[in-house]
Structure 1
Amino acid sequence: MGSGSFPIDLVLFGMIAAFLVLRLRSILGRRTGFERPPQPVQPAPRMAQGPVIDGKVEPAVPAAQQSVPDPASPVGQTLARMRDIDGTFDPGRFLGGVDQAFRMIVTAFAQGDRVTLRNLLSDDTYRAFEGAISAREAANETQVSEIRSIQQLAIEGAELKGKTGQIMVRIVSDQVSYARDAGGKPLTGTDAVTEIVDLWTFERDLVASDPTWRLVAARSG
C-alpha cells in the first residue's frame, strides 16, 4: 500500500530467498546517494503525541513531516470510505502509528527480535523477514541499524477491498545502516548517516476488534 489501485503491484514476498536476504539486509531501503555529514547539536525537536499502531499509546518521538492526501482526491476519498467503516480511523493518527511501527520494525529486524516482528507483520511478510534473519544468523553476520530521524511520512496510496483497508506510506529517514561479517568486516551499507526512502504498505480488517495495521509489503521508494 494510488487511488483505488496502486501504480505498481504489491511486492510478492514469495521471491527467491537470495533476493530477500540482500533486500532485507539493507533494511528494505534505498540510499539516495546523499550521505549527511555529522550534524551539530540542535535544539530538541517538537515531540508528537504518542501514536497508536495497535491500540496502545506509545512514548512520544520526534515528529516527522506528515502528508495526508486532499480529502477531495481519489486517495482521500478512499480514506474517507475507510472512516465510514471504522469511525475511529484518522489518517494523521495512522501516520503517527506508522512512525512508531517503522522504528520498531527496523530495530527488531536488525536485532533479530522475532517476537516484535511477529506482532507487526502479516504472515507472509513475517516469513520473509524471519528467513532473512535466519540466513544472517547462519552466516554469523550482524545488522547494525540506527534511525537518526524520520524526515517525512506521506500517504501515497490507499485501497479498500471489502472491509479490508490497505495504505501505502512513503517514509524518508536518516539512518546508519550496514551489515558486518563474522569478523566484523562491513559487508553492505555505510556507517555514515544516509537518507533512505521506503514505501511500506499496511493492512487492517476495519471491522475486526484488533486495531493493528500490519506491514504487508515493503520496497524502495
Structure 2
Amino acid sequence: MQLDPATVIFALLAVFVLWKLRSVLGERTGMEQPPGVGPSPNALAPQPAPIDETLRWKDFAERGSPVWSGLDEVSRAQPGFDPRAFLDGASQAYKLVVQAFSAGDEATLRSLTSDDVFGSFKAALADRAAKGETLETTFVGFQDLKIVEAASDPVGCRISVRFDAQFITVTLDRAGEVVEGDPAKTSSIIDIWTFARRNDSSAPNWTLVATSPTQ
C-alpha cells in the first residue's frame, strides 16, 4: 500500500509533539500525590507556641500575688483579655482625660468616665470657670505605669492602674497671670485610676470609674 506523503508528515508531527510533552511534563510513575493532597500553606507556616500558664502575667504582676490572681479572674470572665493592650488603652485614656480636663472639654470627659467621675470633673470645671481661671497642661511622658489591682464579679471586671506621669501645668487668672504652677518646671504626678468593663459588653472600651491621687 502506498502511503500518502501528507499522512506520513502528520504522523511524524504527532510523535514529535508527544515526545515534547513527555519531556516537559514527565512520566507518571504511580507515586504522584492526588490533587489536593500534600502540606497546606498553614501547615508550613510557623505555629504559635502554647501559652505557659505559669508565665502568662510575668510582665504585669508577681506570681502568687493578689494582682496575679485578679488577672486570672479577669481572663476567665472576659476571654481574650490582653493586659498589654489594656495598659496601652489605659495610658491613652489617661492622656485624653487630662487634656480634656485642662481644656474644659466636657464631651470627651463624658465619653470616657462614669457618672460619678464625670460629676466630679464637671464640678471642678465649674469652680474654675467661676474663678475666671484657666488651666494649661502639657503632658511630658510616663515614668512608669502598672496594674496594682484586678478583680472580677458576675457583672464585670475592675482594674486599677498606677500612673507615674510628668506634666508642665500652670493655672492662670483672668489677667493671664500665673497663680499656680511653673511654666518652666516639670512636675511628677502619681495617680491610681480604676477602670471597669461589663462582662457582657460588646464594646472593647473600659470606663474610668474612680480616681485617687497618691504620694
The correspondence of residues 47-58 of structure 1 with structure 2, limited to 5 A, is none
| Separation in structure 2 between the aligned mates of residue 86 and residue 219 of structure 1, nearest angstrom | 26
Does the 8 Å CA contact 1:178/1:189 hold for their aligned counterparts? yes
Does the 8 Å CA contact 1:82/1:206 hold for their aligned counterparts? no
Q: Which residue of the other structure, out of 125, 133, 140, is the alignment partner of 2:132?
A: 140
| Separation in structure 1 between the aligned mates of residue 145 and residue 199 of structure 2, nearest angstrom | 22
Confirm or deny that 1:205 pairs with 2:195. no
RMSD across aligned positions (CA): 1.4
TM score, norm. by length of structure 1: 0.66
Identity of aligned residues (%): 34
Does the 8 Å CA contact 2:171/2:180 hold for their aligned counterparts? yes
Structure 1 residues 74-98: Cα deviation after superposition (integer angstroms, max 9, x where no partner): 2111111111121121111111111
| Separation in structure 1 between the aligned mates of residue 87 and residue 176 of structure 2, nearest angstrom | 36
| Separation in structure 1 between the aligned mates of residue 144 and residue 182 of structure 2, nearest angstrom | 22
Confirm or deny that 1:185 pairs with 2:173. no
| Separation in structure 1 between the aligned mates of residue 153 and residue 78 of structure 2, nearest angstrom | 14
Show the counterpart of 1:58: none
Q: Which runs of 5+ in 2 are unaligned?
A: 1-58
Q: Which residue of the other structure, out of 88, 92, 97, is the alignment partner of 2:84?
A: 92
Paired letter, 2:130: A
| Separation in structure 1 between the aligned mates of residue 182 and residue 211 of structure 2, nearest angstrom | 21
Structure with the higher strand share, 1 or 2: 1
Does the 8 Å CA contact 1:85/1:163 hold for their aligned counterparts? no
SS at match of 1:182: coil
How far is 1:102 from its partner?
0.7
Q: Which runs of 5+ in 1 are unaligned?
A: 1-66
Q: Which residue of the other structure, out of 163, 168, 186, is the alignment partner of 1:171?
A: 163
Show the counterpart of 2:10: none
| Separation in structure 1 between the aligned mates of residue 181 and residue 207 of structure 2, nearest angstrom | 27
Q: Which residue of the other structure, out of 161, 168, 171, is the alignment partner of 2:153?
A: 161
How many pairs align? 155
Q: Which residue of the other structure, out of 76, 99, 114, is the alignment partner of 1:122?
A: 114
Query: How has the CA–CA distance of structure 1 residues 102 and 206 changed in structure 2, closer, same or farther, with 3 Å as cutoff?
Result: same
Moved >3 Å (runs of 4+)? none
Structure with the higher helix share, 1 or 2: 2
Show the counterpart of 1:102: 94
Find the structure with the greater CA-based Rg: 2
